[in-house]
Amino acid sequence: MNDYDDRLIRCFVSAFPGATCDEIRTAHFDAISGWDSLRGVTLLAVLDEEFGVQIDMSELMDLETFDSLKLHLMGQRQIPESIASIVD
């Protein structure tokens, strides 16, 4: 796992403290323990704070998974190639 993954996992853990790292990385968002609209909005706020991007709830639900969200966020921001190459 790289720093980008760690930051994203921390965002999820902030919104879903009962979810495990494995669950976060593998589950569809709406299947994560404790998922509800309030926690979803909390996740969006934490993502905005951590990564400086605004995502709406429908966009988040369309992304569906941790990896899809990570790739989306990486496309939104310029990141060092050393991190981007880890995804491939």
Determine the pLDDT at residue 86.
53
Residue in the block written with tokens 């050393």: 82
Cβ atoms of 51 and 74 closer than 8 Å: no
Sign of CA dihedral 15, 20, 4, 73: negative
Report the half-sphere exposure of 25 (CA within 13 A, side-chain side). 10
- How many whole angstroms from its chain centre is CA 81? 20
Domain residue extents for the chain = 3-82
pTM for the predicted model, two decimal places: 0.79
Residue 61 and residue 84: Cα distance in Å, rounded?
23
CATH topology of domain 3-82: 1.10.1200
pLDDT, tens only, 11-67: 999 999 999 999 999 989 889 988 998 999 999 999 999 999 999 999 999 999 999
